[in-house]
Amino acid sequence: MAIQDIYATALRLLGRPVLVVGGGPVAARRAKGLLDAGARVTVVAPLASDALRELAASGLLTWKPRTYLSSDVDGVWFVQTATGVAAVDAQVAADAEAQRIWCVNASDHESSAAWTPAVAVVDDVKIAINAGGDPRRAMALRDAVATALETGDLPLRRRRASTGSVALVGGGPGDSGLITVRGRRLLGQADVVVADRLGPRDLLQELAPDVRVIEVGKTPGHHPVPQLEINRILVEEALAGHRVVRLKGGDPYVLGRGGEEAEFCRQNGVEVEVVPGVTSAISVPAAAGIPVTHRGLAKGFSVVTGHEELSEVPARPDHTVILLMGVAKLRESAAALAASGMPLDTPVGIVENGYMPEQRVTIGTLATIAEQAEATGVANPAVIVIGDVVRVSPFAPEHFKTADYSTLTPNKPRVVTPSPSAH
């Protein structure tokens, strides 16, 4: 049987009697699949695997512990052979053929009246693949297609009207490879994308032409679309039956006002899902080789916006302070930390455009960093890291690197060549 001879279709077996002949692992898999489809399954086999025995004991199927009889095919809608004995499977297939009943012959795919495809389910989409009677090839293709659907590389977007919803998706620090699999998948299903300036912008170019993108990006001190208007847009689009993705940079619940948006959606009867993202507070320092905690240097960290919370964080080099949106008030922030007791020689790192081609790292101390930033024109988006963890960065000046802070050889001197891109 050639692949061209197959008419691809799907059987609806809910409540209909089917027959499985055989009691081994293949029979168990096929019986389980038929049960999942809602069929009334009868298994005929002298011996049955533990899996089939458990299904029979629980009342999910009927097991007849004997050899096959031609009368077993009477009145069934579908037959699956899986005895492992070619002659028995051939007899079952012949009896089914005589009664015009579709039968899958596991022993001889070439003469089988039907084939069982490799199947995967993603959301409400069922993928079924035949590959010329080669089950391993079919499974490999099935897995590849399912993965592409899961990751958003293939579209899962519905084309018919459905109930609207909102997904608050954290897109990470801007690199399109750092969005989560779930977030990428939901983006591929979206009818409307409400986009931030700092999200993974490259992914917007991959959307279908009829997906609407509503730009609501903000910059420090400039909010062309107020938050209340963003909330209204999300609800209005969802109530119109659209699947809405609110694509944010970083994580929607880390200084991203995602909690307000989720609450507003729920108050207005809109289903909302929150998809965490890779927050820039941790990932952008990592792009410059700066861990926010490190053995022997820091056991905790605080994330603030750099405006008014600095008086409440520990002013110690062994407690990392991460400032988001803090460039404009960097001089005031440094002075506030110094006034709280932070030593002036505490290392400070600024990472601009983390993970992007134009990434730049500036490293100094609490006493010098404001002047350095002004001299080099540091600008948002940038993450500022204050604390001894900055010493670990390969971009740090040589005199910062007084010891090897690894867990294997603590306090062993090391030699690291600073990157020429450091300032």
Catalytic site residue 196?
Answer: yes
Q: How far apart are CA 96 and CA 92, in angstroms?
A: 6
For every residue of 79-134, DSSP letters joined together read EEE--S-HHHHHHHHHHHHHTT-EEEETT-TTT-S--PPEEEEETTEEEEE--TT-
Q: Hey, which residues does 318 pair with through a beta bridge?
A: none
Are 364 and 346 contacting, i.e. CB atoms less than 8 angstroms apart? no
Q: For residue 248, what are the β-bridge partners?
A: 170
First CA to last CA distance, the chain: 69
How many C-beta atoms lie closer than 10 Å to residue 30's C-beta? 21
Q: What is the C-alpha separation between 228 and 224, in angstroms, rounded?
A: 12
Structure tokens at 125: 């989409």
Secondary structure class of 250 (helix, strand, coil):
strand
Residue 412 bears catalytic tag: no
The residues, any chain, with a CB within 8 Å of residue 242's CB and separated by 6 or more, are: 164, 191, 192
- The answer to whether 112 and 1 have CB atoms below 8 angstroms apart is yes
CA geometry: angle 183, 383, 279, nearest 5 deg? 20
Which position among 32, 64, 153, 218 bears the catalytic label?
218
Among candidate residues 196, 248, 388, 401, the one labeled active-site is: 196
Residues taking part in catalysis: 196, 218
